[in-house]
Structure 1
Amino acid sequence: MITRAALLLGVACLASAIPNVMLFYESLCPDCGVEMKTGVVGALRKFGDSVFFSLVPYGNARTSIGRNGSLEVQCQHGEDECTGNVWHACSHLYMTPLERVNYAICTMMRGEENVITLLKMCTTKEKVALLKACAESPMGSALIKLMADITDTAGAVWNNRTRRLDGVPTVFIDGFPVSSAEQAKYSLPDLICLKSKHKPAIC
């Protein structure tokens, strides 16, 4: 069970011999913002593009199907977080992996601006138009459902009984979960060096 799920979670990086770091988060989660600003930024500074980051913006949200067949999403920190999550999910269509990471960092590094303002100011006007159109279309709903399914799969690895993650931020490295205790003890760059199958040369 755990091997199959781990392979599914690590599929984005199977073709390359570099670590795949999967971060499960929510766009308005304070702890996720700290991890993004410190752990992810620190890892980018240390490893550059020798690490592949997979971002999964969903976390503790809940999805259900409405009477009209539409996807209904409830986010832990309210509607603004749902908006942030879907824009982040849509960024997978229009940005490179590094652009997606930098976009997420930018939108989570400021806490006082309006959410839509942040989502727009952290990329180009052309991409804002694409992200907005995606977020307000069935494609945005489909991408959030995909993020929900990936999160549930990760939850099955983490806790097969509840099929839920033990909170966010949660990190998987090369398809395997990092425990909360390990996340508290080590920085993300240190965890990458400790747990990745193909360690960056700088380790």
Structure 2
Amino acid sequence: MRVLCFLAVVLLISKDHKSFCISHPKPACRYPPSQWCRSLEIAIECKVQKQCMELSAIKPNQTVPPVALTLYYESLCPDCRSFITQQLFPTWTLLEDIMSLTLVPYGNAKEVLSANGPFSCQHGEPECRGNMIEACIIHFTGTSLAFQIIYCMESATNVLNAAEPCLQLYAPSVSWGTVDACVTGRLGYELMHGYAVMTRALNPAHTHVPWVTFDGEYTEENDARAMSSLFHLVCELYKGVKPPACTGAPVKLSASGCLKE
């Protein structure tokens, strides 16, 4: 009842209605009830963090669009692998609530007609297979889960050998046989062709990978900053109330610990 009433207060006040809940938290804080779950810092100050977390309500203002980041890359490019593992994945882990991510595993590949297949890749046939595997994984699992699998692959010593165990680790409901059939079949080709079209449509045209756009736009300044400090750039580009991770706001946890016997 306490949680339901609290939710009613937040929802009703946000819609300029009156609330008639009798049982709800009455924190002594400087924020009105409509803002109690606006950030973790506010929820802690108003002593309602438990209720906010239970309602999954501690998120940035959803009326503000997230920063739309699109990464154009190829699976065996050393710089792409470094960017994914050292910049993009840590940033996405901390700022997923204010980011939308699109992965385009095509890079400097080309559509060709040859005995080796319909695509030619900068780092050879293994890279074409790696690109295709990641495209199929994105198709079957969705970007959020796929990115965890792709991070697992790209951080491994051997990207291709890591594909199956990484898939089993993060998406056990998706069989490797399903992914492999996609890679060798018509679906894989269609996915890669779609990524080829997206890559060729870039304006300005990409000159290297990784190539990063924000809200569909590319600038040399943002590219340089993304390679060195993507986290701070995403925080800066987000137009809504900055989450605690961006502001560096201290989060005071309840006092507890392992006592010495």
- Taking structure 1 as the reference length, the TM-score comes to 0.77
- Note the C-alpha offset of 1:71: 6.2
Q: Which amino acid aligns with 2:230?
A: L
Q: How far is the alpha carbon of 1:189 from its aligned partner? A: 1.4
What letter matches 2:131 in structure 1? N
83-92 or 39-48: which moved more?
A: 39-48
Q: Could you list the runs of 5+ residues in structure 2 that have no partner in the other structure?
A: 1-62, 247-261
Correspondence 1:183 to 2:229: no
Q: What letter corresponds to residue 117 of structure 1 in structure 2?
A: N
Aligned position for 2:210? 169
**In the alignment, structure 1 residue 22 sits paired with structure 2 residue 64:** no
Which deviates further from its counterpart, 145-154 or 87-96?
87-96
Alpha-carbon displacement from aligned partner over 1:106-146 (angstroms, at most 9, x marks no partner):
111012x3x44211111126332221111110110111110
> CA 1:120/1:59 → structure 2, altered by over 3 Å: closer, same or farther?
same
Q: Larger radius of gyration, structure 1 or 2?
A: 2
Counting aligned pairs with the same residue, the percent is: 28
**Greater relative contact order structure (CA < 8 Å, 6+ sep):** 1
CA RMSD of aligned residues (A): 2.5
- The correspondence for 1:103, drawn from 131, 145, 149, is 149
1:33 match: 81
Q: Which amino acid aligns with 2:233?
A: L
Are residue 92 (structure 1) and residue 133 (structure 2) matched? no
Structure 1: any 5+ residue segments left out of the alignment? Answer: 1-14, 159-163
Alignment partner of 1:187: what SS?
helix
CA spacing shift, 1:198–1:95, aligned 2, 3 Å = farther
The match for 1:129 is 177
Report the CA distance shift for 1:91/1:41 in structure 2 as closer, same or farther (over 3 A). Answer: same
Task: State the partner residue of 1:153.
Answer: 201
Contact conserved, 1:24 with 1:169, CA < 8 A, in 2? Answer: yes
Equivalent residue number for residue 63 of structure 1: 111
Inter-CA distance 169–128: structure 2 relative to 1 (3 Å threshold): same
Closer/same/farther in 2, CA of residues 78 and 118 from structure 1, 3 Å limit:
same
Paired residue for 2:163?
Answer: 119
Kept after mapping to 2: 8 A contact 1:21/1:54 = yes
Change (3 A) 1:182 1:50: closer
Q: How far did 1:196 drift?
A: 4.4
**What letter matches 2:105 in structure 1?**
P
Q: Is the 8 A contact 1:22 1:54 kept in 2?
A: yes
Q: Secondary structure at the match of 2:192?
A: helix
